[in-house]
A and B are shown apart, each in its own frame.
Chain A
Amino acid sequence: MLPLRDLQQSVRDYVLGAQSSSIAHSFQSPIVPAEDVLAIHRNNFRASLSEALGSIYPAVENLVGETCFNAIAGRFVERHPPDSPVLSAYGDAFPEFLDNQPSLSGIPYLGDVGRLEWAWNEAFHAADALALTPEELCQAASDCWDDHGLILHPSVRLVASGYPVSRVWRMARHPGEHPDEIDLDNGPEHLVIVRPRFEVTVTAVDPGTFSLLRALKDGCGFHAAAEAALKTSPEFSLEGSLGSLLARGTFASFTTHPEDPINDGLS
């Protein structure tokens, strides 16, 4: 009799797409041919995880069509099966997988649309925190602006693209909305994705502001981040940038400490 671990490894290999397996013939059914039993589980694996990817990447699915999406997603799930049952955290490698599909080379912005959708998904599931208000910032002593004083909201994600990717994304999420008006040469875009409370927002910012946030996200102090912004864009205005970032809930309240994440994979 096959040890349990060996039996399960054989079934796993078959479900993940192994071409032939003696295990497939050892399941006993009075109704279904033996080799069809595990095929049910294999199909379920591909279909259910492709559906999970479709729920995270609806714009990508709309851009390529359901049939094409399911074929690509099916290949992806076999090559990159989830390593955790928390499927809201599954599929971060999908945009890069899209980049490398020769059949999709005619849609060069597709990977960037995927990166935007993954950022949206991460922002949606990120830890909750109150957003910093302009009043709170004004009341704080200026030394709060030191190297640890201004922290990004835990939901902030950043996406840069050479294409007008947020316009493509909006069009793909709402099919029928003037797809012909998008000029693909009308890039690049620097996008900030944030969910201060319930709603995820996607906003294009100037390259200087994007550099500021990128530096903060990489762990730089505020002064170093401001210098990075000025280096990217000499006309960068800290005052102008901060006002709109605060209005969008991009920073976490000084009194907020994000809750311990239940899922360490989505922080």
Chain B
Amino acid sequence: MSLPSPRHVFANGPIPVCAGIGLKFEHIREIIETTPAVAWLEVHAENYMSAGGPSIQALEEIRRHYPLSVHGVGLSIGGAEPLDRAHLERLKRLVERFEPGLVSEHLAWCASGGDFLNDLLPLPYNEEALATVIAHVDETQDALGRAILIENPSLYAGVPGSEMTEPAFLNEVARRTGCGLLLDVNNVFVSASNLGFDPCDYLGQLDMGPVGEIHLAGHHVRPFGDQVLRIDDHGSPVSDDVWALFGRTLQSTGPVPTLIEWDTNVPALGTLLAEAGRAEHALSSISPRGGRHVAAA
């Protein structure tokens, strides 16, 4: 018999159409002790893949009180090589153990030749990459027995070999695999600024039906000559520009579960909760969209 498992009292059900926050190790104890009023939490899948230990035990405790979303950063959905079966199996066990309301991964690659590069590297948007991503999303959804969400990346530059726009690429992935989309509004803003396109054009081209979750985060602004390069470091408050773009996005999507991500220079829990409160205010001021696609399990 293993340690008593509280899974039978998990706070189950879909992720509510409210604001959530990313769960950081620094806040785990405080969240267990104070159970703050936040609608849901999201974790990086790879941080909870050990065999056991206090982190896993803490997440099981937290899971009793909060709906949970699992966000993978290591599957290399866009990798030209076959998916790492051992890693997919780890993800499957994690999903079985914690029964998350949403499971998501990235439109990116992060491994080559057996080496994991710990970064979300950009893809060329062309037919070969599209076929690769579609095959890997299909394989992942088959293995997990559920739909996943795919997140748009942040880009520093155009990738050689690209032949279509990112929204066109994502629309096709969603249409052909049945996956949902995780729309990272900060990433849209960062990529638009770095590559010189209009973020509103991007939003206009993206099918909003499959959008099942929104991410908001802060980014770093690095001067480059008389211009700036925006770096998606999740290390500061959401910028005013991104809040504005979030508001415009909600006009198209209607209310969608929205996450505040803060992964570096992690502040006090109260700061994240305040950001989530601001997102909640925006969500509650938008009326539901008719017939919105729901990608949640």
Contact = CB atoms under 8 A, between A and B. Distances in A.
Contact of B51 (A31, A34, A82, A266): A266
B74 A8 contact: no
A84 B87 contact: yes
Interface stretch (A124-132, A176-184, A212-220): A124-132
A48 B231 CA distance: 14
A154 B237 CA distance: 42
Nearest to A52: B118
Interface stretch (A68-76, A139-147, A186-194, A255-263): A255-263
B207 interface: no
Interface string A76-97: 0000011111111100000000
A28 interface: yes
A195 interface: yes
B51 A27 contact: no
Among A4, A32, A40, A89, find the residue whose CB has the most chain B CB atoms closer than 10 A. Answer: A4
Tell me whether chain A's interface is mostly helix, strand or loop, or mixed. Answer: loop
A257 B158 contact: no
B50 interface: yes
B109 A84 contact: no
Tell me whether chain B's interface is mostly helix, strand or loop, or mixed. Answer: mixed
B141 interface: no
Interface residues on B, range: 35 or more
Contacts of A26: 160
A22 to B, nearest CB: 10
Interface string A238-261: 000000000000000001111111
Interface residues of A, number: 60
Contacts of A37: 156-157
Interface in B73-119: 73-75, 79-81, 84, 86-87, 90, 93-94, 97, 109-119
13 contacts: A7-B80, A9-B113, A11-B112, A29-B158, A29-B194, A32-B156, A37-B157, A45-B118, A81-B117, A85-B110, A86-B74, A125-B52, A127-B51
Given A8-B112, A45-B118, A154-B51, 4 more contacts: A32-B156, A41-B117, A45-B119, A127-B51
The 4 closest A-B pairs by CB, nearest first: A85-B74, A261-B51, A125-B50, A128-B52
Interface of A: 1-5, 7-9, 11-12, 15-16, 23, 26-32, 34, 37, 40-41, 44-45, 48-49, 52, 81-89, 124-130, 154, 195, 198, 255-264, 266-267
